[in-house]
Structure 1
Amino acid sequence: MGLPDVGGAVGRIVATAQNGLEVLRMGGLDTGTEPTPYKVVETEKMYRLRRYFPDDPGDGCANIVLIPPMMVSANVYDVTQQNGAVSVLHRHGVIPWVVDFGSPDHEEGGMERTLTDHVVAISRVIDLVRSVTGHDVHLGGYSQGGMFAYQTAAYRRSKGLASVVTFGSPVDVLAALPLGLPANLVVPGAEFVADNVFNRLWIPSWLARTGFQLADPVKTAKSRIDFLRKLHDRDALLPREDQRRFIEQEGWVAWSGPAVAELLRQFVVHNRMMSGGFVIDGEVVSMTEITCPVLAFVGETDDIGQPLAVRGIVRAAPLAEVYESALPVGHFGLVVGSTAGRLTWPTVGEWIQWREGNADEPENIAPMKTDRTESGTGISWTNRLTYGVGQVAGAGTAVSKELVEAVNSLQRTTWAVATESVRTVPRLFRLGQIQPSTRVSLGKLMSENAKRTPHDELFLFEDRILTHTQVNTRIDNVVLGLIESGIRPGVHVGVMMDPRPSALVTIAALSRLGAVAVLMSSSDSLPEMLTMAETRVIVADPDHLDRAAAACGRVLVLGGGSGDARVIERADGEHIVDMEKIDPNLVRRPAWYRPDPGLAGDLAFVVFTETQGRINRWSITNHRFAMSAFGAAAAAGLSNRDTVYCLPPLHHASGLLTTLGATAAGRSRIALSTGVDPARFSREIRRYGVTVVSYTWNMLAEIMDAPEFDASQLGTVRLFMGSGMSSGQWTRIRETLPNARVLEFFATADGSAILANVDDNKIGSMGRALPETNPVRVAAYDPMTGRMEIDRDTGFIREAGPREVGMLVSHAGQRFEASGLVLRDVFRPHDRWEVGGSLFRADADGDLWYMGSAAGVIQSAAGPIYQVPIQQALSMVSDIKLAGVYGVGEPGSQIAVAVVELREGVTSLTPTQIRVGLGELPAEQRPHLVWIADSIPLSESFRMMTSKIAARGMPKPGSKIWYRDAEGRYRRYTATAAAAIDWSSPTGVAADEETSVSE
């Protein structure tokens, strides 16, 4: 047996003690390495800009600006002298510039920094480097620094950028959160922390370091054990000592609370890097604005910037040329360490030279695939198992993640129901508690939202953003302007404005004042509307000034800012008042003014509908507004995570109730469109991060049928909500956007009944009454006599059976609400039901289907013909864009005429197409005539104005018109056929002529 090597053991003990003492005293071992030389070329409050290798003039070199994450020191790009980023890049002919944000807790105002401050600062750095070098620059960032790079590129619309390079930077954050945490648990917690914690606290450097290390505790423990075990062997420790010291001590800086809160709110809770619509310096920004090339480094075992989240860039920036480089490392190993020095940074250098036209495409990159399918987080089992002993434990973590995902999958339905209940139950409970004396109004609702979430965004318009506080302040100022102009509570004030922030503010200001907002279109019926609504003053924007002034003796002009030439020329202070000139600070509040005085029973709005060419007034109380607003918000599941894109005009009930009312009730953002334009629609959907689109009638057909429409831009939209959509358009949306659904609302002309097809299963159905709104029934009704049918046994009105057409009536529980015809003792003693004039049928499940208005029933010789089923059936014919139905002649012998407009490029139809399209309707319910018009006129809300076509009378025979024969088939309507048809006959064809009429 040999003697133990006592000298060797003593030597190890002494070396361990010496090295350990050096670590305790100095924080680590002296490696003898020196920092790479650099010069600070610019110092601002937000940053210091380093230019590495200042002695190199950089002639002919490309330049890259590198951004560190907020919690990591700028030295992350120069941790080791040989393998550090700046050194490797310089050897590849690239001059590195590094943005040093410093440690916020040591910088003036550092703890109040926001994400916007960082992005704007980076944008200024790009301009500076470009001005010095005279060339576009490459922009790189690690982890959150890469998120900054993406955001800055989008903010600048890629101006001045040769490319963007990121390292482990997540884009689709909710697709794969760090450590595989489930999004449905993280999002509510992140929102609470952002709103209630980081508005008061900040993250010190030691906590940032601890959080990073806890992200992979096994690897952290293993590295510390290895360090202690090798503490005697200085030569073995020195190559990794700089890296160890950086991770353990020197590499971390504090994180300002506002920046953390904004990060959580915009990019975790709302996932706006993926959906679009994040806000930088008051400007709405989307990743779709990135058009320069992108290279994203993916860590195959990265548990922080997980592969699935990182690869979200290829979907978020569809206009960019996106490449990736996947490496077998974790999050930190992407930029620091031997693998980074051997693979990451040489590949970056090769990428830059390739993009500069000086080299071939690097071998270690590949185009990122848009159709890539990944399960879980995107980290494969093979990568975990081959990553080393520490990662075997990581694979165990993966098992637990898969178990969490499995449990989450099993409980998904329960969780969804519970989550939905948290949002909807309070709204419906509040709705059910409203009494006549309850104070409730649009103005009060917006005031409450401003108090609850003052800094959240509310209005998005032409890339501008307004918060709840800003909007509420503007509302108060407009109230003072209205008071100065002589408007008092209860006064009826017309509103004629395009959808824009000033229009919504005006409507809310009239509500806050207690006046009645009369929402008007600029149609030829404007004088009639003024008379019906008892309105003597209009608030208009400059675009509607001429039309308003021609119809009304007093016009208050608001919007467009002060100094509009059209207003200056005509404003006289009496008949035309420029409200932008009124200084709210000089207006004295009268003693009678009390903000938001509106009670549930008070009249709040007046809107107008047009049926069969007749204008009808629709009076809306605060209670009915609240019913619609809260009911629609609950049905749509709206929350502050939604951005609603408003297409309808505000004078339409859908614009007022479904859009403005529901988004206010849901505390959602409202993106205002300046008109129905297909190209702008697709662009703004992604820019604003739209999740819900509101519409009326044929708006979406006008957009989606256009050649320039790009369905790929609508990936963020989960819901289309509105009223009047055809079954054909509904079907096309399902086919084009399978991940979106349609929420179709219906409200009777008096507003007493509010229906919604909530589950979207039955295309064309109006669904059922919204919870906590008035219950409805279908009363048996004879459309030929215009009378409800009586049950002979009971004497009460008979309720219509399944599939039987009848009159929709709503329960008049709130006596103060009765604005239409109210019948008593209808189905049982002492009940009260309001009659709205709309015909429906109920299917076997109890879902309601709209048949048209009672006034619109076509009374033919064979019986009643209902317009809406014909329109819906014809809309399903692929070649038909629009289909309208009207009656010609006297009641009892009317002719049902269907007029269609074909899609672009289609010149005609066949009789077979018409017959098949109408095949589900009984022969007697099909139109007598079908003809093709060059175009069907549309109203401002895109409703077909068939009354203008009906005024022309009976269509003349021709090559584009067909008639229905006795068997329900369609034949060409020639002059010979017209002469043979007996329209007074129930069959429509004279018996002795049937055989002589040919197709």
Structure 2
Amino acid sequence: MIPTPDTLAAAIKTATSFVVNAVEVVRFGGLQTDEEPAPFEIVVRRPMFRLRRYYPTAGDADMAAVAVDGDPGGADQRPRPPIVLVPPMMISAEVWDVSPSTSAVTALYEAGLDPWVIDFGAPDLEAGGLERTLTDHVVAVSDAVDLVVEATGRSVHLGGYSQGGMFCYQAAAYRRSRDLESLVTFGSPIDWRGNAPLGIPEDVIVTVARFAAQYVFNGHSLPGWMASTGFRLLDPIKSARAQVDFLRQLHNREALLGHERQRRFLAGDGFVAWSGPAIVDMVQQVVIQNRMMVGGFVVGDRVFSLADITCPVLAALGEVDEIGVPAGVRKIASVAPRATVYELALRAGHFGLVVGSTAASITWPTVAEWADWIEGTGDRPEDIEHVDPGAEVESSPTKTVMLAADGAFQAAGLGVGVVRGAGKLALNTVHTTRALGFEALNAAPRLVRLGQIQPRTRVSFSKLLTERARNQPDDACFLFADRVHTYAAVDTRITNVVKGLITVGVRQGDHVGVVMETRPSALVTIAALSRLGAVAVLLPPTRSLSELIHLGGVTDVMTDPEHASRVTDAGARALVLGGGAERELPAGLDKGVVDLERIDPDEVVLPRWYRPDPGRAGEPAFLFFSRSTGSWQSKLVTNHRWALSAFGTASAARLTPESTVYCLSPLHHPSGLLTAVGGAVAGGARIALSRGFDPATFDEEIRRYGVTVVSYTWAMMRELVRRPVTSCESLPSIRLFMGSGMPRGVWRRVLERYPGTRVLEFYAGTEADVVLANLSTTKPGARGRPLPGTAEVQLVEFHPDSGAVLAGPDGYAVPTEVDAPGMLVSRPRIGVDASVRQLRGVFRPGDTWVSTNDVFERDRDGDFWLLGSASSVVHTDHGPVYPIQVADALGDLPEVDLAVVYGVPGAGGTLAVAAVTKWGKDAITAADVGGALASVPAAARPDIVHVVRDIPVTTWYRPDPSGLAARGLPKAGPRVWIRDTDTGDYVRLTKDVRDGLAPPS
């Protein structure tokens, strides 16, 4: 067909318009729309940001008002509620005012709000902009809130888009919601690890993030064009389709003008550079460590969690958002249980939440209604829904995201199954790598280092801290009272304390006592003594302090102000350190007290003999005290023994810089210094210190510090599981409880109370090199097996009364059979202190072994089960009764809380008595007792079992039967049972039978 003149004219016009518009796009980057941005003034200029106020009034800044009830001239007016809007780090502040038709600031102003915007500027054009950190951004948001509060005289609403919303969450937690009416976020995910785009496995996300943080962004920034490209590549099909549509419409200027500023914004105009340090910090804390989910977020020297948010929250999410995946956005309710959280779900993508027709018609009207509702001047918006903190949230992207991805990939000739298949392949690869290589990558270097230690090897607590300060100076060493202490700061403090110690005459090899509350100054003190090469004598705060000072051979005691008078009363010189900014020494303590804080370290000249970290493996490092037998006993720990426990713990517990260990054990207990603190330092993990174990503050501190590993001693965790369950108890961060001595019944209740966690039970002799660890999750109560790199161990037959190792016909010790009681002996890798009793010629001429004085059984799998210490075994006429074996068996009863075993003199000899406390309301019967003890050999069962009101525990929560034993035989009653020697059953103890058992007066 021959085209008509009209057709030719239309074609020429279209071609001409296309060329003209194309030339304009080439020359200016886009079409000129002649649209004016919303008016604003820059109220404050700071190096980090500029604070804009949109639609500034001519009158007083804090009296901008809006008419109420549609009466523009009425006298009933109220101040406009201020709302502060925060852009993401990579997007300019113009995201809140892309075009008049979709302008957030205009819509909010017309709805009666007072809009303010934080402008971070372009970092690559700002002085020092490319050195900005994540802390700088969060503090800037907090400072901007203070500025708006000062200008308006009232609290504000804080809103943020994407990463800007994450800044808002972080700033709100940082300031504990002070001066915040509410939070409003748009597509701001809380959990980036478990809810990645397109269902990419968490392991892959973390692996890529680690690589990027270490090799890509470490010391390098991300230019704006690359940020824009990356944003578009998240949905390449949609981006390509938009470009094609633009070219197809390029001849029709009027059709394009309405979306031109939005197109240019996404094409690159709206993107700015990212600073390298900020990216690395964000990747580390938000992705790798997942701090927004688990807590322990660090800003400057402060640590917090999103649980510190208490103001109302409105979280807007896009149902087809490919960046802020809905499931990740919804997690805010579970991690901020004290905030009332609402959700606004929109059929929109990530950008469409704040720019476009959906934003104009739904987002901004709803935000305005939300502000009115929070202010008490309007009704609750219809489109929002309340989110329960305990509501189940999908851990994977929603189906709508997968459907959107499916359509996109099918358009490219692929299916979403390819994506899923690739993700599954990657996940399987990571799992295989984990199974085959985790120990090689993490545990092996530690164990190899242990194997290389010789008696003259320099290794100590302080030397390991020195290494950490050199390799990771800015990482958190320990957290205390909401503050972060970095390895570099701790190292400097240790050096200063060493100077003070040298000034007052402390030298290498001296024994110096330490009696302090668990706080940073206590850890620094112990490390300073280690750096000096002195022996830290860990003194429990007991009434027997003078006895322990004499037993430890010390004349100087490092202490805090609270214990200074007790030290001087005990006859030692008090070297006072720490106590906080408001410290005051008790009155009248001039004599015998040296305040180390008054010594200026800059004025101290170090003597020529001083060498930092001189400790050798075979040299003593710490002296502990125990009182399990009624009298105090000292336990000397060498540097090698400390390193053995530290590296062993770090390997068994898989501690890394991403871990946070909650140190609940007191530092004067070996479990605190050797396991919790030692393992954390060896693994590069953070140490969260507590002022003392308090179940009432446990959940709060777990969240704030982002604790992943909780340390314990004996029955400490019993205090947790006894508490009523609360609706806000979701603690997603804890993965492990580790310590020693947890009763088997408490063990099971801990796992029930905190599902998904496990218990890592250690056994470690303070003077022997043996370290056992229960790495299995299926054997509650077992002490596990020796860790690689630790001493060789054996169970040998022993005399039940004296505890002496028995010899066979050849004169050597006799190894025990499976499931038979035996004394645990260890063969030290390096020499032992001369004060430790050594066994020679145990299995061959000249060999050296050390007895742990603890009785164990070994099962067919090779796992060791502690039966009790040799000194605690009750020797009856029917055979030895092992306390832990009996207590664990009784603790298996659901009705039993704690159980202890002790000996009581009787008419025919010693009787073994077991005491139990009740758990719950159900009664304990004789049949229950008999059934529970059926797993114990008949000869090792107690003679009497009775229910008591309470079982005392020591200061480190070890069940203490001494008070019950002092009372003698329990009185006859309905909750006291005696074992029938004929049938083996337990029957009620009558008064006549009891009188017959009582020893002669």
Q: 1:194, CA displacement in angstroms?
A: 3.2
Measure, in 1, the Cα distance between the counterparts of 2:212 and 2:204: 13
Q: 1:188, CA displacement in angstroms?
A: 4.2
Tell me whether 1:914 sits opposite 2:929 in the alignment. yes
Measure, in 2, the Cα distance between the counterparts of 1:744 and 1:619: 22
Q: Provide the secondary structure at the position in 2 that maps to 1:246.
A: helix
Measure, in 2, the Cα distance between the counterparts of 1:981 and 1:249: 92
Match of 1:647 in 2: 664
Q: 1:110, CA displacement in angstroms?
A: 2.3
Q: Provide the secondary structure at the position in 2 that maps to 1:894.
A: strand
Q: 1:957, CA displacement in angstroms?
A: 3.9
Q: 1:979, CA displacement in angstroms?
A: 2.5
Measure, in 2, the Cα distance between the counterparts of 1:48 and 1:67: 11
Match of 2:69 in 1: none
Residue pairs, 1:161-560, within 5 angstroms:
161-178=180-197, 180-195=199-214, 198-368=217-387, 370-374=390-394, 376-380=396-400, 383-384=403-404, 390=408, 392-393=410-411, 396=414, 398-411=416-429, 413-417=431-435, 418-560=437-579
The change in CA–CA distance for 1:816 and 1:791 in structure 2 (over 3 A counts) is closer
- Conserved 8 A contact 1:678-1:704: no
More displaced 10-residue stretch of structure 1: 143-152 or 192-201 = 192-201
More displaced 10-residue stretch of structure 1: 47-56 or 149-158 = 47-56
Paired AA for residue 179 in structure 2: G
Q: 1:471, CA displacement in angstroms?
A: 0.4
More displaced 10-residue stretch of structure 1: 377-386 or 721-730 = 377-386
Measure, in 1, the Cα distance between the counterparts of 2:530 and 2:510: 11
Measure, in 1, the Cα distance between the counterparts of 2:412 and 2:174: 37
Measure, in 2, the Cα distance between the counterparts of 1:401 and 1:507: 54
Paired AA for residue 141 in structure 1: G
1:882 pairs with 874, 898, 907, which one? Answer: 898
- Conserved 8 A contact 2:782-2:865: yes
**Any gaps of 5 or more consecutive residues in structure 2?**
58-63, 67-76
Q: Provide the secondary structure at the position in 1 that maps to 2:478.
A: strand
1:102 pairs with 110, 115, 121, which one? Answer: 121
Measure, in 1, the Cα distance between the counterparts of 2:921 and 2:118: 59
Measure, in 2, the Cα distance between the counterparts of 1:562 and 1:17: 73
How large is the Cα RMSD of the aligned pairs? Answer: 2.5
The change in CA–CA distance for 1:394 and 1:290 in structure 2 (over 3 A counts) is farther
The change in CA–CA distance for 1:909 and 1:584 in structure 2 (over 3 A counts) is same
Tell me whether 1:798 sits opposite 2:814 in the alignment. yes
Residue pairs, 1:679-828, within 5 angstroms:
679-707=696-724, 712-784=729-801, 786-792=803-809, 794-816=810-832, 820-828=836-844
Measure, in 2, the Cα distance between the counterparts of 1:706 and 1:486: 49
The change in CA–CA distance for 1:405 and 1:27 in structure 2 (over 3 A counts) is closer
- Conserved 8 A contact 2:650-2:682: yes
Measure, in 2, the Cα distance between the counterparts of 1:612 and 1:884: 15
Measure, in 1, the Cα distance between the counterparts of 2:416 and 2:350: 16
More displaced 10-residue stretch of structure 1: 655-664 or 248-257 = 248-257
Measure, in 2, the Cα distance between the counterparts of 1:393 and 1:121: 44
More displaced 10-residue stretch of structure 1: 696-705 or 798-807 = 696-705
- Conserved 8 A contact 2:813-2:842: yes
Measure, in 2, the Cα distance between the counterparts of 1:736 and 1:415: 32
Measure, in 1, the Cα distance between the counterparts of 2:942 and 2:723: 29
More displaced 10-residue stretch of structure 1: 277-286 or 350-359 = 350-359
More displaced 10-residue stretch of structure 1: 748-757 or 56-65 = 56-65
- Conserved 8 A contact 1:230-1:237: yes
- Conserved 8 A contact 2:204-2:430: no
More displaced 10-residue stretch of structure 1: 218-227 or 502-511 = 218-227
Q: Provide the secondary structure at the position in 2 that maps to 1:175.
A: coil
Match of 1:617 in 2: 634
Paired AA for residue 297 in structure 2: F
The change in CA–CA distance for 1:45 and 1:410 in structure 2 (over 3 A counts) is closer
Q: 1:81, CA displacement in angstroms?
A: 0.4
Q: 1:829, CA displacement in angstroms?
A: 4.5
The change in CA–CA distance for 1:70 and 1:892 in structure 2 (over 3 A counts) is farther
Paired AA for residue 725 in structure 1: M
Q: 1:938, CA displacement in angstroms?
A: 2.3
Measure, in 1, the Cα distance between the counterparts of 2:590 and 2:162: 57
Q: Provide the secondary structure at the position in 2 that maps to 1:714.
A: coil
Match of 2:60 in 1: none
Measure, in 2, the Cα distance between the counterparts of 1:968 and 1:41: 87
More displaced 10-residue stretch of structure 1: 370-379 or 839-848 = 370-379
Q: 1:942, CA displacement in angstroms?
A: 1.4
Measure, in 2, the Cα distance between the counterparts of 1:641 and 1:69: 25
Match of 2:72 in 1: none
The change in CA–CA distance for 1:601 and 1:787 in structure 2 (over 3 A counts) is closer
Match of 1:571 in 2: 590
Tell me whether 1:930 sits opposite 2:945 in the alignment. yes
Q: 1:670, CA displacement in angstroms?
A: 0.5
Measure, in 2, the Cα distance between the counterparts of 1:501 and 1:696: 20
Measure, in 2, the Cα distance between the counterparts of 1:207 and 1:864: 75
Q: Provide the secondary structure at the position in 2 that maps to 1:319.
A: coil
Measure, in 2, the Cα distance between the counterparts of 1:709 and 1:529: 43
- Conserved 8 A contact 1:49-1:98: yes
Measure, in 1, the Cα distance between the counterparts of 2:97 and 2:302: 34
The alignment-based identity, stated in percent, is 47
Paired AA for residue 892 in structure 2: M
Measure, in 1, the Cα distance between the counterparts of 2:562 and 2:536: 19
Q: 1:707, CA displacement in angstroms?
A: 4.2
Normalising by structure 2, we get a TM-score of 0.93
The change in CA–CA distance for 1:396 and 1:153 in structure 2 (over 3 A counts) is farther
Paired AA for residue 50 in structure 1: R
Q: 1:350, CA displacement in angstroms?
A: 2.6
The change in CA–CA distance for 1:578 and 1:932 in structure 2 (over 3 A counts) is farther
Measure, in 1, the Cα distance between the counterparts of 2:405 and 2:470: 52
The change in CA–CA distance for 1:359 and 1:426 in structure 2 (over 3 A counts) is same
More displaced 10-residue stretch of structure 1: 18-27 or 207-216 = 207-216
- Conserved 8 A contact 1:607-1:617: yes
- Conserved 8 A contact 1:219-1:391: no
The change in CA–CA distance for 1:891 and 1:456 in structure 2 (over 3 A counts) is farther
Q: Provide the secondary structure at the position in 2 that maps to 1:852.
A: strand
More displaced 10-residue stretch of structure 1: 83-92 or 661-670 = 83-92
Q: 1:122, CA displacement in angstroms?
A: 1.7
Residue pairs, 1:143-162, within 5 angstroms:
143-162=162-181
**Any gaps of 5 or more consecutive residues in structure 1?**
985-999
Match of 1:656 in 2: 673
- Conserved 8 A contact 2:409-2:415: no
The change in CA–CA distance for 1:342 and 1:399 in structure 2 (over 3 A counts) is farther
Paired AA for residue 924 in structure 1: A
- Conserved 8 A contact 2:618-2:830: no
The change in CA–CA distance for 1:711 and 1:74 in structure 2 (over 3 A counts) is closer
Deviations 1:383-431 (A, max 9, x none): 4179xx7575489474333113322443454232223431111111111
Match of 1:993 in 2: none
The change in CA–CA distance for 1:710 and 1:33 in structure 2 (over 3 A counts) is closer
- Conserved 8 A contact 1:300-1:383: no
Measure, in 1, the Cα distance between the counterparts of 2:182 and 2:545: 55
Q: 1:836, CA displacement in angstroms?
A: 1.5
Residue pairs, 1:629-644, within 5 angstroms:
629-644=646-661
Match of 2:957 in 1: 942
Deviations 1:105-137 (A, max 9, x none): 222332232222222222222233334444432
Paired AA for residue 68 in structure 1: P
- Conserved 8 A contact 1:65-1:99: yes
Deviations 1:193-236 (A, max 9, x none): 43565452222222222221222222222212221222111112
